[in-house]
Amino acid sequence: MVKPSYIKQRFKQSVVLFLVLCCSAAIAQTQQEHIHHMGHSVMPFDLTQTVHVFRMTDSGGVQRVLLREGAATDQVAIIQQHLLHEAEAFQRGDYADPAMLHGADMPGLKDLQAGAKTIRISYRALPDGAEITFKTKSLHLLTAIHRWFGAQLSEHGADARAE
């Protein structure tokens, strides 16, 4: 007969092994993999059919989300609706979506939130997606925009490119 203490001990060992394996798998996931797999929680469009394009300018930058070649055109309306919503939120200093996906400590994010009143943000629909333009006269906020774009480029990996 197997003693109850032995069963408890084996159960505890199994739980510990399970947790170690799960945590190891989670830690092994890169930030790029995390963003690609969790992006749908913030972005309603299909990341496999789109690409984020970041262009830093002398006065801020332009962020685009475009269809990849051969992607389903039904994604365009979803991209446009999402970027319009984001542009309106960013103008109010609401960067909750990027913070949820990338983390609240994302480079430049806190400065953009605090300086929202001095950043002009505009939205434009494009035939294959949409874009948000950020403009400021503040060198501090210009640097914050560029840092934020750089972090997104890094974290989106193959789902993003610079222009």
Per-residue tens of pLDDT for the chain, all 163 residues = 555 554 555 545 444 444 444 544 444 466 656 565 565 556 788 888 999 999 999 999 999 999 999 998 999 999 999 999 999 999 999 999 998 877 889 999 999 999 999 999 999 999 999 999 999 999 999 999 999 999 999 888 888 999 9
Q: Cα separation of 72 and 26, whole Å?
A: 31
- Predicted local confidence at residue 102, as pLDDT: 75
| CB neighbourhood size of 61 (10 A) | 20
- Predicted local confidence at residue 38, as pLDDT: 61
The whole model's pTM is what? 0.77
- Predicted local confidence at residue 29, as pLDDT: 60
- Predicted local confidence at residue 155, as pLDDT: 86
- Predicted local confidence at residue 157, as pLDDT: 81
Angle at 135 between CA 134 and CA 137, to 5 degrees: 150
| β partners of residue 160 | 52
